[in-house]
Chain A
Amino acid sequence: MTNFLQATFAVFRKDITAELRSREIIFAMMVFSMLVIVIFNFALELDPATRKEVTSGVLWATFAFAGTLGLNRSMAVEKDRGCLDGLLLAPVDRSAIYFGKVLSNLAFMFIVEAFVLPLYSALYNVNLFNPGLLLVILLGSIGYTAVGTLLASMAVQARTRDVLLPILLFPIAIPVLLSAVKASTGFLNGVEMAEIWPSLNLLIVYDVIFTAVAFMVFDAVVEE
């Protein structure tokens, strides 16, 4: 068990170190999410009245788009530099590699979200620092990256990999995005907890089911 955790953290540390040196993933995700927000601003004419209703939708669309960018890149780097083969040769449980990648992708997601939230708050003069919203972001990001990491490791091994990840991921991730948007809107508008719980429960159920299944099938995805 300690071996497993050590291997997971080793993969995680490797990714973070590499990212700190090259800064190619997080920087791209940040710039991209800024652009998405700018586009939404004009596409939706975000005046104060409508803003209240669409804030969480805009936020989650931004996270989802920036997320696919990061997921694709972080797996493509492994594939192109032959790191994946090296990792697979290591005498550790392969699911440790999966969890390591999930952790680092999750870290990238969190960094981008930590960048987007204050930016959005400042640009639109809304307070997004709501503990409930942060909880939803935590749960939603876990489900999204758990599925995304697995699908990205399939997508990078395909011929059409650049277009494939969003097509594979979005239809599967729709439950996460929908319940996250619903719960976020609930927290931002101060709705009663009784109305938010169903969405939170669904997020938790999704996270548990898909993390477990991804853990079980990851071996089949990377097998040579």
Chain B
Amino acid sequence: MTPKPTLLKVLDYLSVIVLIIAAYLALVYAPTEQIMGDVQRVFYFHIGTAWVGLLGFVLSAILGIAYLVTKDMKWDIIEVAAIEISVVFFFITIVLGSVWARPAWNTWWTWDPRLTTAAITELVYVAYFMLRAGVEDPERRARFGAVYALFGGLSAPITFMAIRLFRSIHPVVIGAANQNQEKMNMSGDMRVAFFFALFAFTVIFIDLFWNRIRLGQLESKVEQLKLKVM
């Protein structure tokens, strides 16, 4: 394998630095929210991870199309990298949301459209990895993965609309909770922490993405060599 490019090394260090700054801004710099207290501080990382999670899922659907059109393995490697990182970040998003919901809404979980869609989306991509694990031929695995990534990307917005329709019959708890969330007023210092978290997670995402793509390339190289030797 080619040695790590200098730019990637720089990016590795930069990711750690921005993560520390983002954590400082979220935990110390931003003022404590009056109504919810300290738990509101998870919100910065919640939005940050959600943003990069969604970014990866949208990217993967596009990469799936790119693979199906070109049949070039490099798109498959990038697609897996995007989905794997997004699954990890989205899992964190859901857990952070749940931790926040417990004191704010007095429950770990409500079946509100956003939460439910997030959970289903996460399940779609867990299914994606189960599908890949069941297929040995790399080329077929890539085709199946691309098709499923495309399906997942298409179904997520429709799922959100379907759940919103469904939930409109019981607007009581959820409606109130949602308004509460929308109404969250951010002071200037909070906004700094918020936007810095978005920036930090974008940098971290790019760094992990690049590292994971290199890992994927190594993986396919080993796989090919195995076929050649054995």
Interface residue ranges, A against B (CB under 8 Å)? 147, 150-151, 154-155, 157-161, 164, 167-168, 171-172, 174-175, 178-179, 181-182, 198-199, 202, 205-206, 209-210, 213, 217, 220-221, 223
Query: Does B24 reach chain A (CB closer than 8 Å)?
Result: no
Select which of A150, A160, A174, A179 is within 8 A of B155 by beta carbon. Answer: A174
Stretch at the interface among B76-84, B131-139, B195-203: B131-139
Looking across the interface, which residue of chain B has its beta carbon closest to that of A223? B143
A168 lies within 8 A of B68 (CB)? no
Known: A178-B166, A217-B68. A157 touches B135 (CB 8 A): yes
Looking across the interface, which residue of chain A has its beta carbon closest to that of B157? A175
Residue count of chain B within 8 Å CB distance of chain A: 30
Known: A168-B127, A175-B159, A210-B154. A217 touches B134 (CB 8 A): no
Bitwise, B136-173 to A at CB < 8 A (1) or not (0) is: 10001001101110111011001101110110000000
B130 cross-chain contacts in A, Cβ below 8 A? 160, 164, 167-168
Select which of B124, B133, B134 is within 8 A of A171 by beta carbon. Answer: B124
Query: Does B120 reach chain A (CB closer than 8 Å)?
Result: yes
Determine the distance from Cα of A43 to Cα of B135 in the docked complex, in whole angstroms.
37
A161 cross-chain contacts in B, Cβ below 8 A? 134
> Can you identify 22 A-B contacts, CB atoms within 8 angstroms?
A150-B147, A151-B148, A151-B151, A157-B144, A158-B135, A158-B144, A168-B127, A171-B120, A172-B151, A175-B159, A175-B162, A178-B162, A178-B166, A205-B158, A206-B158, A209-B154, A209-B158, A210-B155, A213-B150, A213-B154, A217-B68, A217-B150
A172 lies within 8 A of B165 (CB)? no
Determine the distance from Cα of A164 to Cα of B133 in the docked complex, in whole angstroms.
11
B150 lies within 8 A of A160 (CB)? no
Looking across the interface, which residue of chain B has its beta carbon closest to that of A191? B169
A159 lies within 8 A of B136 (CB)? yes
Query: Does B20 reach chain A (CB closer than 8 Å)?
Result: no
Q: How far is the CB of A17 from chain B (nearest CB, A)?
A: 30
Q: How far is the CB of A222 from chain B (nearest CB, A)?
A: 10
A175 lies within 8 A of B131 (CB)? no
B166 cross-chain contacts in A, Cβ below 8 A? 178-179, 181-182
B143 lies within 8 A of A220 (CB)? yes
A154 cross-chain contacts in B, Cβ below 8 A? 131, 144, 147-148
B131 lies within 8 A of A164 (CB)? yes
B68 lies within 8 A of A198 (CB)? no
Determine the distance from Cα of A157 to Cα of B131 in the docked complex, in whole angstroms.
10
Closest 9 CB pairs between A and B? A158-B134, A160-B134, A175-B162, A178-B162, A175-B158, A171-B124, A159-B134, A171-B123, A172-B155
Known: A157-B135, A158-B131. A174 touches B159 (CB 8 A): yes
A159 cross-chain contacts in B, Cβ below 8 A? 134-136
Known: A160-B134, A167-B130, A220-B143. A179 touches B150 (CB 8 A): no
